[in-house]
Amino acid sequence: MTTVYVADTGVFVRCGGPDNDKFQRLRQALRQTDTSLRIPQRVYEELGGDPVADEYPSGNIPYPDGFEEGWIVVADELNYANPLVSTIMDETRRFIASETDRDEDSIEKADMALVGLAAQLLDTGRADHVVLLTTDKPAGGAAETLLPQHGFTDRIEFRYVSVKYLETITADEFR
């Protein structure tokens, strides 16, 4: 059984800066279990893309340490030629547009990428089970609703990353 953990931007913001206990707990839990978090390319771009964010304590995210130590990994590019991946991404856009009462055109590709990556990991056999760690409730809902409709029943789990979740996280979370 291979479980792959996909993480969104909100997980790292929630860590609250390098001196914060939450960051160290997450790091320790991952290192103890030799687990890495996969992040889609678009999440990687969000994390590093805004110098203004450095003004905020929670914007001072030491994610480069995670790459260096191997517990954050940028995931493979999405294969849009895979019909399942592209279908799931289209469905995700519609799902989130409906949940948020927005136009489909206003749904960001990063949201679709999270669910698309989960689909790709399951479809290619890279994962038997995917855990999506995010603060994005519409995207989490899309993953849990849409993937089972394509046969991945009980193989996707959305975990909402609250303050409490990170304050109490241990290695058990990744076993």
Dig out the tokens for 85 from the structure. Answer: 């991946």
Contact 2, 129 (CB under 8 A): yes
**Edge-to-edge strand ranges of the sheet holding 72-74:** 72-74, 37-39, 3-7, 129-134, 156-160
91 forms part of the interface with other proteins (CB under 8 A): no
79 forms part of the interface with other proteins (CB under 8 A): no
Looking at beta carbons only, is 90 or 108 nearer to other proteins?
108
* Site residues (CB under 8 A) for other proteins, limited to 19-48: 46-47
- Which of the stretches 76-84, 97-105, 119-127, 149-157 binds other proteins when contact is defined by CB under 8 A? 97-105
State the greatest distance between any 2 C-alpha atoms of the chain, in Å, as a whole number. Answer: 45
CB of 101 to other proteins, least distance (A): 7
CB of 19 to other proteins, least distance (A): 13
Q: What is the C-alpha separation between 37 and 44, in angstroms, rounded?
A: 12
CB of 79 to other proteins, least distance (A): 22
- Which of the stretches 20-28, 72-80, 87-95, 99-107 binds other proteins when contact is defined by CB under 8 A? 99-107
9 forms part of the interface with other proteins (CB under 8 A): yes
101 forms part of the interface with other proteins (CB under 8 A): yes
Q: What is the C-alpha separation between 18 and 41, in angstroms, rounded?
A: 22
Looking at beta carbons only, is 9 or 84 nearer to other proteins?
9
- Crossing angle between the packed helical segments 137-149 and 109-123, to the nearest 10 degrees: 30
Q: Taken in order 17, 121, 109, 92, is the CA torsion positive or negative? A: negative
DSSP class of 76: P
Chain residues that interact with other proteins, rule: CB under 8 A: 9-10, 13-14, 46-47, 49-50, 52-53, 55-59, 96, 99-102, 106-108, 110-111, 135-139, 141
